């Protein structure tokens, strides 16, 4: 017998152990362990694990589960949670819809603001002029003649005074404000400029509050009642976002006309020249001997307002049809239109609110399909 065939031979033992391990590796499939089993194995002490493994047979090794990670089925969602999620989604949708509606209304409002504001200002101006015309009709002929006589006297006092007439004393201001003020509001008449579709009340003075809504008569210039050696100056803003006012008088050309109405006298003026001057230059506003003039004054250029645009017209005969024409109260038609629009909008809003509320009540009273299934 050879030495390596002896049972005690170390070389023989090593060869047999290697063969046994190779056979077990080929016959036994690989096993995977779950995270829980691996964690339990890692938590055991190293020495105990080594001792147990050495004393176990190959068939007694722990068998690990082959369950792949992530295959655990999700827990069922209760019907109540589904209804709550649906209501939350509806609220979010309504909130987004409301926000978009508000943004749309604000955007449209910003776009339409100049147009709407100017239309409103024209409406107010029409009402003011209509009120003035009614008050004139209720004023006796004697009172009108007395007021016109005071205005002529004032105009005569301005002749030959030069620029000092634009620097009145407190007493002169008080006297000025009392002339031609039959309504007690400061309105003395109205100016009509057909080319720019403007009809504006004329108030005493050129305060900013006046110029924001109407035309102002420059104190120290002649009252716009006509007559020789008179030069009335009417001022107005240009380029306001809220009102057109004198916007567009730069388009007036020689030969264009405009009218001034004081009481029931309609005076017509034909444009003869246009000038652009510095604010302190009043040479073009001087009273010219024997002439009847009216100048329209506004700031220029748009947005800069560093100069003054002066459009001067000379008196021409007023056509007979214009003298006897009655004032058309556009404010009345506008009131009717505004009333109709507001009424229709209100009815539409009420119908919409009623419909939405009714649907919500129906939805709240109707049981869900989950509730039906439970019963």
The per-residue pLDDT for range 124-180, each reduced to its tens digit, is 888 999 999 999 999 999 999 999 999 999 999 999 988 889 999 999 999 999 999
Distance linking the first and last C-alpha atoms of the chain: 90
Instruction: Provide CATH code, domain 108-324.
Output: 2.40.260.10
- Report pTM: 0.64
Residue range 86-129, pLDDT digits in tens: 777 777 777 787 787 788 778 877 777 777 778 888 888 889 99
Beta bridge pairs of residue 193? 198
CA distances from 279 to 104, 237, 308 (A): 43, 14, 6
Give percent of the chain above pLDDT 70. 66
Which tokens in the block code for residue 351?
Answer: 């119908």
Determine how β-strand 215-217 pairs with β-strand 198-204: parallel
Give percent of the chain above pLDDT 90. 47
pLDDT for the residue 301: 93
Q: What is the mean pLDDT of residues 170-195?
A: 95
Residue range 38-85, pLDDT digits in tens: 455 555 545 544 444 444 444 444 554 454 555 556 666 566 666 777
Beta bridge pairs of residue 312? 273, 295
Distance CA 114, CA 245 (A): 12
pLDDT for the residue 258: 97
- Tell me the DSSP string of 34-46: -HHHHHHHHHS-H
* Mean pLDDT, the chain, whole residue set: 79
Catalytic annotation, pick one of 237, 307, 324, 375: 237
Beta bridge pairs of residue 298? 309
Altogether, the residues listed in the chain come to a count of: 375
- Tell me the DSSP string of 84-148: HHHHHHHHHHHHHHHHHHHHHHHHHHHHHHHHHHHHHHHHHHHHHHHHHHHHHHHS-HHHHHHHH
* 244 in Cβ contact with 118 (< 8 Å): yes
Catalytic annotation, pick one of 33, 51, 299, 370: 299
Indicate the Cα dihedral angle 331, 332, 338, 340, nearest 10°: -170
Distance CA 315, CA 289 (A): 14
Q: Is 123 a catalytic residue?
A: no
pLDDT for the residue 58: 44
Q: Is 231 a catalytic residue?
A: no
Distance CA 4, CA 318 (A): 147
Confidence category of residue 335, pLDDT binned at 50, 70, 90: low
């Amino acid at each position: 017998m050879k030495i390596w065939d002896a049972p005690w031979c170390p070389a023989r033992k090593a060869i047999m152990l290697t063969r046994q391990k190779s056979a077990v590796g080929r016959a036994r499939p690989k096993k995977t362990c779950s995270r829980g089993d691996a964690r339990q194995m890692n938590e055991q002490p190293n020495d105990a694990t080594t001792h147990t493994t050495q004393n176990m047979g190959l068939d007694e090794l722990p068998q690990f589960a082959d369950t792949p990670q992530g295959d655990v089925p999700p827990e069922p969602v209760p019907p109540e949670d589904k209804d709550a999620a649906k209501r939350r989604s509806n609220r979010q949708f309504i909130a987004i819809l409301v926000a978009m509606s508000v943004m749309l209304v604000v955007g449209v409002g910003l776009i339409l603001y100049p147009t709407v504001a100017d239309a409103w200002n024209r409406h107010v101006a029409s009402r003011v002029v209509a009120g003035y015309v009614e008050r004139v009709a209720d004023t006796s002929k004697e009172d009108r003649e007395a007021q016109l006589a005071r205005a002529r006297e004032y105009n005569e006092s301005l002749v030959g005074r030069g620029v000092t007439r634009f620097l009145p004393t407190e007493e002169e201001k008080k006297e000025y404000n009392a002339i031609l003020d039959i309504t007690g509001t400061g309105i003395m008449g109205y100016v009509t400029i057909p080319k720019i579709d403007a009809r504006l009340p004329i108030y005493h003075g050129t305060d900013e509050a006046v110029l924001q809504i109407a035309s102002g008569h420059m104190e120290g210039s002649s009252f716009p009642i006509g007559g020789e050696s008179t030069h009335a100056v009417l001022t107005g803003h240009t380029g306001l976002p809220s009102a057109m006012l004198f916007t567009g008088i730069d388009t007036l050309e020689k030969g264009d006309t405009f009218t001034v109405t004081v009481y029931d006298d309609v005076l017509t003026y034909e444009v003869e020249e246009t000038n652009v001057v510095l604010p302190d230059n009043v040479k073009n506003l001087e009273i010219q001997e024997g002439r009847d003039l009216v100048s329209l004054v506004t700031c220029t250029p748009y947005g800069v307002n560093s100069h003054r645009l002066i459009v001067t017209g000379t008196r021409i005969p007023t056509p007979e049809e214009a003298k006897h024409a009655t004032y058309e109260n556009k404010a009345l038609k506008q009131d009717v239109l505004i009333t109709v629009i507001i009424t229709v909008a209100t009815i539409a809003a009420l119908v919409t609110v009623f419909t939405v509320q009714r649907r919500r009540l129906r939805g709240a009273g109707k049981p869900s399909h989950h509730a039906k299934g439970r019963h």
